[in-house]
Amino acid sequence: GENVEQHPSTLSVQEGDSAVIKCTYSDSASNYFPWYKQELGKRPQLIIDIRSNVGEKKDQRIAVTLNKTAKHFSLHITETQPEDSAVYFCAARSYGGSQGNLIFGKGTKLSVKP
């Protein structure tokens, strides 16, 4: 089945700097890759997603890139702000494998220091 590895597990940046979180997946049939943000004590919420027919997607200060050959995808946050501090989860979904369910990485705790 699918396996998703996420790095780093913790990331600390200064306000205004960029942050990059990377994930690798094992199932070459995976074709949907979302990113979720979870603030302390809250529920995970989708912030951006990408499908395998697209190499990059942007939404204001966040972007996701996908390299299907290398089987990895990354979340980029530019001009970080204190409110970006949260745990970020990547996930992958194979329509044929893992029963078609999302498989999540273990999360990255991002701290943005003012």
Partner 1 sequence: NAGVTQTPKFQVLKTGQSMTLQCAQDMNHEYMSWYRQDPGMGLRLIHYSVGAGITDQGEVPNGYNVSRSTTEDFPLRLLSAAPSQTSVYFCASSLNRDEQYFGPGTRLTVT
Binding site for partner 1 (CB under 8 A): 6, 9, 32, 34, 36, 42-46, 49, 89, 93, 99-107
Closest distance of CB 39 from partner 1, Å: 12
Q: Which is nearer to partner 1, 31 or 78 (CB)?
A: 31
Closest distance of CB 25 from partner 1, Å: 13
Q: Which is nearer to partner 1, 18 or 42 (CB)?
A: 42
Q: Which amino acid is at 88?
A: Y
Instruction: For residue 78, count other CB atoms closer than 10 A to its CB.
Output: 14
Q: Which is nearer to partner 1, 78 or 97 (CB)?
A: 97
Q: Which is nearer to partner 1, 28 or 45 (CB)?
A: 45
Separation of first and last alpha carbons in the chain:
41
Q: Please answer whether residues 66 and 56 qualify as being in contact, where contact means their C-beta atoms are separated by less than 8 angstroms.
A: yes
Residue 81's DSSP bridge partners are none
Closest distance of CB 58 from partner 1, Å: 18
Q: Please answer whether residues 45 and 38 qualify as being in contact, where contact means their C-beta atoms are separated by less than 8 angstroms.
A: yes
Closest distance of CB 69 from partner 1, Å: 23
Whole-angstrom Cα distance, residue 82 to residue 19? 12
